[in-house]
Amino acid sequence: MAVTFESTTRTTVGMTELFDLSRSIDAHKDSMARSREEAVAGITSGLITLGQEVTWRAWHFGLPIHMTSRITEMDAPRYFVDEQVRGPFRRFRHVHEFSEDPAGTIMVDRIDFAAPFGPLGRLAEKLFLARYLRRLIETRNRHLTAAARAE
C-alpha cells in the first residue's frame, strides 16, 4: 500500500523565483536544519536539474537516514519531479507544481510514498509517517517563501 497527500502553498513570491528556490540544494538544507540534512553526494549545492541526483544525510526519529533522489521530470518553471533511487522507502515520489495566481504563485506538492517492512511499514505510514512528512513539506515551504520575501 502507498500513501499519497497534497500540500498547497499560496504566496506573493514569483513563480520562477519559487521554482528555483524549490530546486536549491542550499535552501533545502537551510529549511531542514532541524533534522540536520546535508547534501553529501551528487549535486551538493546550487540548483539541481533534470537527470541529476543528490544524496541527503539527515536525522529522523533519532536515526541517521541516507536518501538519494533524482530529478526525473522537469518543465521549468511549471513543475519538476524528484524520486528516490536509493533510501529508506520502498517508493518515494515528490511532484512540485507551480502556477501563477493574481496574488503571486500557487505551489502544490504531491507526495506518493510507500514505507518498507511490509505490514509494519503500512501501519507506520498510517500512524505517523504521512503526518510527519506533511509537516516537513509545510515547514520547508514556509521557509522558502519567507526566505524569498526577505531577499
Q: Where are the domains of the chain?
A: 3-150
Question: Average pLDDT of 3-27?
Answer: 95
Question: Phi/psi of residue 134, each to 5°?
Answer: -60, -45
Superfamily covering domain 3-150: START domain (3.30.530.20)
Mean pLDDT confidence for 57-85? 95
The DSSP element (H or E) to which 123 belongs, if any, is helix 118-124
Distance, C-alpha 81 to centroid of its chain: 9
| pTM of the model as a whole | 0.92
What is the pLDDT at residue 54? 98
Question: How many CA atoms within 13 Å lie on the side-chain side of 142?
Answer: 7
3-state secondary structure of 116: coil
Residue 129: band (very low, low, confident or very high) from pLDDT cuts 50, 70, 90: confident
**What are 50-62's pLDDT values in tens digits?**
999 999 999 988 8
Cα–Cα distance for residue pair 86/67, rounded to 1 Å: 6
Residue 19 pLDDT greater than 90, yes or no: yes
Mean pLDDT of 102-129: 82
